Amino acid sequence: MQLFEIDKLQYIDLSDNNLNKLGAQIGKKLRDEITHIKWIDLTQNDFFHDTQALSMIIQGLKKQVALNYVGLSVSGLYCDQIVRLLQPRRPPLSLNLRNSTLNDKSVEYLAKAISNSDYNLSALSLKYCYLTFEHMHQLAKALRFNRSLVKLDLSHNALKFSTTKYLLESCIDNVTLVTLDLSGNFLDDQFAEKFAEVL
């Protein structure tokens, strides 16, 4: 893991690989040895179910002093931990939770971070998270009050019009969102009509 010891390498993308045993090594480096990483994407790797690796990685991410982007696929308890990287009055953070299994607690915390600009969440990817109606409703309500999020990726969530209706209504009040990705869902003409009203 000498890659992580090179101080000038502050942006590291290891997503979409077959990393398994290396997950724990990456976590140990982040936790015990380095603090200079600003941008890291570890989504879609084989250590997704390695609890020891995920625990060390999240502990290590908390120690990075200028972190502005995190990508990590997680589930259960680790969802709760990764979303809590978002803390009030910290520098802006982009969070990529692609292919994660979110629980109610983590979605509730995300909604809190979206609705409160003190949390400085600038971009959020929930691609392939298969969000429930309740999750979408919570996120939509939060988006109405958002003043920091500029990019939201909800692609490939099997969403239908019924689950996006409130989201579209929130977009009317939202003043900061610039990019909304809803590709790869099950949206139909009913959605298109409502979308036209929002534009």
pLDDT score of 15 more than 90: yes
Q: What is the pLDDT of residue 179?
A: 96
DSSP per residue over 65-129, as a string? TT--EEE---BTHHHHHHHTT--TTS--EEEE-TT-B--HHHHHHHHHHHH-GGG-EEEEE-TT-
Sign of CA dihedral 40, 46, 49, 51: negative
Torsion 134-135-139-142 (CA) sign: positive
Residue 160's pLDDT band (boundaries 50, 70, 90)?
A: very high
Query: What's the pLDDT at 1?
Result: 60
- Do residues 92 and 101 touch, judged by C-beta distance below 8 A? no
Residue 70 main-chain phi, psi, to 5 deg: -135, 130
All domains in the chain, ordered by first residue: 1-73 (no CATH), 102-199 (3.80.10.10)
Which pLDDT belongs to residue 107? 97
pTM of this structure? 0.94
Range from 43-47, 95-99, 152-156 carrying the lowest mean pLDDT: 43-47
Contact (CB, 8 A) for 24 and 48: no
Are the C-beta atoms of 49 and 76 separated by less than 8 Å? no
- State pLDDT tens for residues 49-62: 899 999 999 999 99
The pLDDT confidence band at residue 197, using thresholds 50, 70 and 90, is confident
C-alpha distances in Å from residue 34, one per residue of 8, 29, 67, 150 = 12, 6, 12, 30
> Considering the chain, what is the average pLDDT of its residues?
93
What pLDDT score does 52 carry? 93
